[in-house]
Amino acid sequence: MVVLLAMLESGKSNWYKPISSKDVAPFFHQYLMEKEHRKRIDFSDKEAKKLWDYDEKGVSKLIATMPMTKWSGSSKGLINYEKDVFHINIDVVIDDEETLFQWTKEICEYRLHFHFERKARLPLTL
């Protein structure tokens, strides 16, 4: 969902266009590091802790491994990920662009909020 949120930052006409893990890396890192509970919940295993200080190559590799590869593998063709290009396979009708963008953004923000709120209430084992 953080990758999708990064894509949505491109605006209503560009969010569904192809993107690389390198393109997403700065947003991804900033998003997870800007709030302590996000950092603890999704960025605190042994490998991720090494990335608390921004390392574009390391963060890009993490994004490529998961979530980009995982999303494309389970999407039944809706998402492709090849040669570090993440692509959502949809044709957007210009008249529907604003609605699709708004709905996708609202769902994405809700899912991220729910994910972090739910996990913040669970005891963590580090």
pLDDT tens figures, 67-125? 898 888 888 889 999 999 999 999 999 999 999 999 999 999 999 999 888 877 766 55
Residue 21, pLDDT > 60, answer: yes
Closest CA to 22 of 70, 73, 56, 51: 56
> What contacts 36, CB < 8 A, 6 or more positions away?
none
Please give the model's pTM, rounded to 2 decimal places: 0.87
Distance of CA 14 to the CA centre of its chain: 15
Rounded Cα–Cα distance for residues 100 and 94 (Å): 10
Structural domain spans, the chain: 2-121
Closest CA to 68 of 86, 45, 89: 86
